[in-house]
Structure 1
Amino acid sequence: MSDSAPTLYEWAGGAEALERLFEEFYRRVREDEMLAPLFRRMSDDHPKHVAMWLGEVFGGPKAYTEHRGGFPAMIAQHRGRKIRPEQRQRWVQLIQEAADEVKLPDDPEFRSAFMAYVEWGSRRAMANSQPDAKPSTRETVPIWSWGAAPPGTA
C-alpha cells in the first residue's frame, strides 16, 4: 500500500458525490415527521453547504471555512435547536440510507470512517444545541481521516 492514502473526500468521490448525498439526505429529512420540524426553515442551498462542510472535514477544499465562516458558523447553526436523542438517531439512520442510495463507497474502511464521523458529529451537534451548552473554544474545522484501517487493508 502507498504511504499516501487518498483523503476520505477523494475516496468518497469529491464534491459531486457529497452534494448528491446531501440532496438525497435532505429530501428524506423534509419528508420525515420527526426531523422535518428541525429543518422547516432550511434554505434550498443548505444541502450544498453541508456538502461543503463534510468535504472540508474529510480533507477536501477549505470551502466551508472560506465561504461560510468555518467552525464557529457551523456551531451557530445548532445553537438553541434542542436536538433530542431520538432525532439524532433518526438523522444517523437517514444519512446511512442516503449514503447507500447515492452509492457512496461501501467498503468497510470508508464506511467505518464515515459512520465514526456521523456519530461523533451528530453527538456534538446535539450537545451544542442544548440551552445550557457552553460556547465551543474550537476555531477550526476538525479534519477526519481513516483511523485505524486505511483503504484496502483487512
Structure 2
Amino acid sequence: MSAAGTPPTLYEWAGGAPAFERLMEVFYREVLRDPLLAPLFARMSEDHPHHVALWFGEVFGGPSAYTEERGGFAVMRAHHVGKGIKPEQRARWVALMLAAADEAGLPDDAEFRAAFASYVEWGSRRAMANSQPGATLTRRTTTPHWGWGETPPGTD
C-alpha cells in the first residue's frame, strides 16, 4: 500500500497483480476468438498473458517485474517490430482491452478508467507505429510509468 497521505498507484487501485492477471486472462481469451486479432496472436506462448500482466503492472506503478524478468522496454518493443499492425487491428485491441477491464472487475471510477484508457490508447498507437516495416523506432529506452491524470515525460 501507499504511504499514509499519498494516493495509491494505479496498480494498487486496480487490485495489484491478481487484477492484472485476471484482466489478461479475459482479454486474451477474447483475442483468440476474434477474427481480426487472432492471426496476430496465433503463435502466442502459453505464458504470454502473464508477461503482459507483468508489463501492465509495471506501467501502472507496480513492481518492476517485467523489466527484471523479461528485459524491459526494449524487449516489449521488439515483440511488435515487423508485425505490421493495421489501424483496425489496433482499434479492436483497444476495444477488447477496455471491455476486458469491465469483465475482469477493474475499478470503474472515471479517474482510473481515464488513466487506463489513456495508456491503452498511447501504448497501442506506439506498438502499431513500431510494428510497421522500416519504422523508425522511438527514442524511448525505459518502461513508461502511468499515473493519475498525467502523461509521463518522454512518452515518445
The AA in structure 2 aligned to 1:89 is: A
- Looking at structure 2, the residues matched to 139 and 34 of structure 1 have their Cα atoms a distance apart, in angstroms, of 30
| Structure 2 equivalent of residue 131 of structure 1 | 133
CA shift for structure 1 position 4: 1.0
Give a deviation string over 1:83-133, Cα, whole Å, max 9, x none. 000000000110111111111000000000000000000000000000121
Measure how far apart 1:137 and its partner are.
2.7
Report deviation, 1:136. Answer: 3.1
Runs of 4+ in 1 over 4 A off after TM superposition: none
Partner of 2:79: 77
Give a deviation string over 1:51-99, Cα, whole Å, max 9, x none: 0000000010000000000000000000000000000000011011111
Residues in 2 aligned to 1:105 and 1:78: alpha-carbon distance in whole angstroms: 29
Look up the equivalent residue of 2:13 and give its one-letter code.
Answer: W
Q: Secondary structure at the match of 2:79?
A: helix
Number of corresponding residues: 147
TM-score by length of 1: 0.93
Give 2:154's aligned residue: none
| Counterpart residue number, 2:153 | none
Q: TM (normalized to structure 2)?
A: 0.91
What are structure 2's unaligned runs of at least 5 residues?
151-156
Question: Does 1:15 find its partner at 2:30?
Answer: no
Residue 3 of structure 1 and its aligned partner are, at CA, apart by: 4.7
CA distance in 2, matches of 1:144, 1:23: 22
2-side partners of 1:3 and 1:79: how far apart?
A: 42
Q: Distance in 2 between matches of 1:86 and 1:22?
A: 21
Higher relative contact order, chain-length normalized (CA < 8 Å, sep 6+): 1
Aligned match for 2:102, one of 96, 100, 103: 100
Per the alignment, residue 91 of structure 2 pairs with 89
Aligned partners of 1:3 and 1:19: how far apart in 2? 28
RMSD: 1.1
Report whether the alignment pairs 1:43 with 2:45.
yes
Equivalent in the alignment of 2:6: 4
Q: Distance in 1 between matches of 2:93 and 2:11?
A: 21
Tell me which residue corresponds to 1:151: none
